[in-house]
Amino acid sequence: MQSPGRPSVNQLATKRAFWNCVAQGMESEAAARACGVSQPLGPRWFREAGGMPPIELTPGAAPYLSFSEREEIALLRAQDCGIREIARRLQRSPSTISRELRRNAATRSGTLLYRATVAQWKAERAAERPKASRLAENERLKNYVQSRLAGAVTDSEGRLIAGPNVPWKGRRQGRRADRRWGTCWSPEQISRRLQVDYPEDQSMRISHEAIYQALYIQGRGALRKELTACLRTGRALRVPRARTQQRGKHFITPEVMISERPAETDDRAVPGHWEGDLIIGLNRSAVGTLVERTTRFTMLLHLPPMEGHGTGVRVKNGPPLAGHGAEAVRNAIAAKIVLLPEHLRRSLTWDQGAEMAQHVQLRIDTGLEIYFCDPQSPWQRGTNENTNGLLRQYFPKGTDISRYTQRELDAVADALNCRPRKSLGWKSPAEALRDLLLAS
């Protein structure tokens, strides 16, 4: 029988602490530092486990001896304590201690010497239940899963459409890059469709989680890891749930969320509450839009590209040369909004775009209260979204908006403000705003 090799250093407690840190949303490097191990070891553990904590790291139940108890047994055994004395101190059955000393003692020296690390290593090896995955045992099921994940794309006559040639790099494909073409069913779609295609064949059953584990966990051997490129996200590793929940804009705090906006804003009875957004065009060109909720009065912000935009190599984390960075948007809003009377600039509601990162300074400069919508909730700025749809008649998608001057943008805004609106009793936004100014 081939020797299983020397026992490794016991890292069970350390790995459990590492995965607990990961579950709390920490990056793998930070989790490694928090657990007292080298920083490169954290990403290695994370990659080997496919971003999922191994099942063997779940805390053992009370009937099983822990590593700390085995250390105590080794110390007491070195002090010539008897089995019953050790059992009393550990509050364990004497038969448990006797069995532990007999089964897990070190035997390489020819004598039965009890060492905690060797005993823990032997216990873990004995507890292993090697079982081949269902995909590894069932070739027909494996072929079905692979064909739905990475099957070829064909035309109406069944001829192959190759798509882009994208080599597998072992990591997620970057943004604005070609993706591999395939049938690309999700694991849940595959799992549910099996019940439709094989209603009577119970061998053709697999859960979506088993497919994910076959893709992400090294050593399962059922599915090739490069098939992760066929998943919708294309991730080569799974992302802990707590880490995704921590995503968000660092400049947004609970105090500036839309839930804190005054109630007077919702019923549109009090003027001076605005909604804003950007209209994006070709080559990252953009125009800012501001719409007053009560009158639907619209103002457009000129955001010209900065010098050097589109002429050289883009610098990662460099200045926003496209012209709609945080400073440019702040200055454009301030220049427009200060032209209004103070009672017509009460608040501004925006989405969570990075262009509003300097909202605190904007509030200081203009006196506007700034609020942010919830993520992926454009209906919370319905007036602005509707106006953006009207503006697309002048600035269609896929066109270069940077070619227009502020004079031309003001003309478009004036055309929109002179249209009669049903919601205003067929008054135009300009007339509604004029009535408010005369009333004050």
Helix (H) or strand (E) holding 265: helix 263-266
The dihedral sign for the CA sequence 136, 141, 145, 146: positive
Q: Report residue 212 CA to chain centroid gap.
A: 17
What is the C-alpha separation between 96 and 89, in angstroms, rounded?
Answer: 13
What is the C-alpha separation between 287 and 301, in angstroms, rounded?
Answer: 6
**Coil, strand, or helix at residue 13?**
helix
Range 395-401 contact pairs with CB under 8 angstroms and sequence separation of 24 or more: 395/279, 395/281, 395/287, 397/281, 398/281, 398/282, 399/281, 399/282, 400/281, 400/282, 400/283, 400/285, 401/279, 401/280, 401/281, 401/282, 401/285, 401/286, 401/287
Q: Please state, as a whole number, how many other Cβ atoms lie within 10 Å of the Cβ of residue 342.
A: 10
At 85, the amino acid letter reads E
E strand map for 234-376 = 273-280, 286-292, 298-303, 347-350, 369-372
CA distances from 92 to 41, 95, 123 (A): 36, 8, 17
pLDDT at 58: 62
**Coil, strand, or helix at residue 437?**
helix
Domain ranges of the chain: 12-127, 134-243, 254-310+318-439
pLDDT per residue, tens digit, the chain (440 aa), is 345 555 555 677 788 889 888 888 888 888 889 988 888 888 888 887 877 777 666 655 456 788 888 889 999 999 989 999 999 999 999 999 999 998 888 877 667 788 888 888 888 788 776 677 788 889 999 999 999 988 888 888 888 888 888 887 777 766 667 788 888 889 999 999 999 999 999 999 999 988 988 888 766 557 887 888 888 888 777 777 666 655 566 778 888 999 999 888 888 888 999 999 999 998 888 999 999 999 999 999 999 887 765 666 666 655 666 678 888 999 999 999 999 999 899 999 999 888 998 999 999 999 999 999 988 889 999 999 999 999 999 999 889 998 999 999 999 999 999 999 999 999 999 999 999 888 87
pTM for the whole thing? Answer: 0.55
- Go through 141-161 and write b for each residue having 16 or more CB atoms within 10 A of its CB, e for each that does not: bbebbbebbbeeeeeeeeeee
What is the C-alpha separation between 168 and 345, in angstroms, rounded?
Answer: 53
Which residues are bridge partners to 286 per DSSP?
280, 303
| Angle made by CA atoms 348, 349, 354, in degrees to the nearest 5 | 105
At 72, the amino acid letter reads E
Q: Are 376 and 350 in contact (CB under 8 A)?
A: no
pLDDT at 244: 60
Q: Report residue 216 CA to chain centroid gap.
A: 17
- How is domain 254-310+318-439 classified at the architecture level of CATH? 2-Layer Sandwich (3.30)
Q: Is 276 exposed, middle or buried (0-12, 13-18, 19+ CB in 10 A)?
A: buried
The dihedral sign for the CA sequence 218, 221, 222, 225: positive
